[in-house]
Amino acid sequence: MATEVDLQAALAHAIEWAQTAGTMIKQAWRSDGVTIEYKSSIDLVTEVDKAVEDYIMAQIKKTYPEHAVLGEESASAQGAYSLEAVPTWCVDPIDGTTNFVHHFPFSCVSIGFCIDRTPVLGVVFNPILNELFSAVRGGGAFLNGEPIHVSAATSIDRSVISTNVGFVRDAAGIEFILENMKALLTHNVRSMRSLGSSALEVCLVACGRIDAFYEFGIHPWDIAAAVCILREAGGVAMDPDGRPLDLTRRRILAAAPGLIEPISQALNTHPPFLPQ
């Protein structure tokens, strides 16, 4: 049987790691000399992503040697990953790397912790705007220590909905992305956003600044932490097709409860670029 984890103690550690990581990100943000590598011509990674991941991974291994870890840059280097039921930390050292490279102030470090493949702790910190979102299961959700809650929206025409275009650029993928935007526009959506950090966008749903976020193509490290924060803020995170959320199925609909059904019904949930 897995050892019981003290989630409040783990949260204190995760906040400390996120703040140190945030200092690393903010210092680099101010300099112009960050080295960029290309996973593809449009998918970037910097020396800062790697340094932050190395730092957080070392802290986790020192503090919780019995836990599993899943980090974006180590998983990308290995070319494959899995998320098992054992206690697992899901780390995105910089979510919003393109924003970071372009000095668009919307990047964060994201530290999530899952048990039984379910997020039970989340810390998402944007050091540029100094906004730290946090939650543990059953304890409520917070922005810089103040409680947060999702919006009361129930209809698309009174909602602001965010999505990201990801890294798919073939014709069928582009068509799919545009088809879903068109569906929401046809439902007279109040407005749409695309802010380039799925972790932060799910947190924006959690604090009611936007009403929903969806994306096809994300990974567990992008959303694990933010899903815990969203659920503790009264929001719903699920598969856009209505199934329970599976962090490895690479898709999410995160919304105020009253919007889940209308958005799920409006979207095409069969992206040609993901396994069905």
Name the site residues for ligand IPD (rule: CB under 6 A).
Answer: 72, 92, 95-98, 164, 166, 196-198, 215, 217-218, 222
- The verdict on whether 241 is a catalytic residue reads no
Q: CA–CA separation, 227 vs 231, rounded Å?
A: 6
Task: Identify the H or E element spanning 80.
Answer: none
- Cβ distance to ligand IPD smaller for residue 14 or 203: 203
Instruction: Kindly state the tokens that stand for 263.
Output: 């958005």
- The verdict on whether 95 is a catalytic residue reads yes
From the candidates 25, 94, 148, 223, which is the catalytic residue? 94
- Cβ distance to ligand IPD smaller for residue 7 or 52: 52
Spell out a b/e string for 73-111, using b for 16 or more CB atoms within 10 Å of the CB, else e. Answer: bbbbeeeebebeeebbbbbbbbbbbbbbbeeeebbbbbb
| Least Cβ distance, residue 47 to Ca ion (angstroms) | 13
Within 185-214, which residues bind Ca ion (CB under 5 A)? none
How far CA 147 is from CA of 170, 199, 200, in Å, comes to 42, 18, 16
Using CB distances below 5 to 8 A depending on partner kind, what does residue 198 bind out of Ca ion, ligand IPD, none?
A: ligand IPD
Query: Of 57-65, 89-97, 172-180, 263-271, which part binds Ca ion (CB under 5 A)?
Result: 89-97
Residue nearest to ligand IPD (CB): 164
Task: Identify the H or E element spanning 193.
Answer: strand 191-193
Using CB distances below 5 to 8 A depending on partner kind, what does residue 196 bind out of Ca ion, ligand IPD, none?
A: ligand IPD
The pattern of x and - marking residues 92 through 131 that bind Ca ion according to CB under 5 A reads x-x--x----------------------------------
Q: CA–CA separation, 49 vs 253, rounded Å?
A: 26
From the candidates 95, 201, 211, 232, which is the catalytic residue? 95
Question: What DSSP designation does 244 have?
Answer: B
Contact of 21 with 109, CB cutoff 8 Å: yes
Question: What DSSP designation does 241 have?
Answer: T
| Least Cβ distance, residue 226 to ligand IPD (angstroms) | 10
> Where would I find the beta strands (DSSP E) of 50-159?
68-71, 88-95, 108-115, 118-126, 131-136, 141-143, 146-147
| Least Cβ distance, residue 166 to ligand IPD (angstroms) | 4
- The verdict on whether 43 is a catalytic residue reads no
- The verdict on whether 98 is a catalytic residue reads no
- Cβ distance to ligand IPD smaller for residue 7 or 247: 247
Q: State in Å, rounded, how far the first CA of the chain is from the last one.
A: 33
- The verdict on whether 94 is a catalytic residue reads yes
- The verdict on whether 49 is a catalytic residue reads no
Residues designated as active site: 72, 92, 94-95, 97, 222
Contacting positions for Ca ion (CB under 5 A): 72, 92, 94, 97
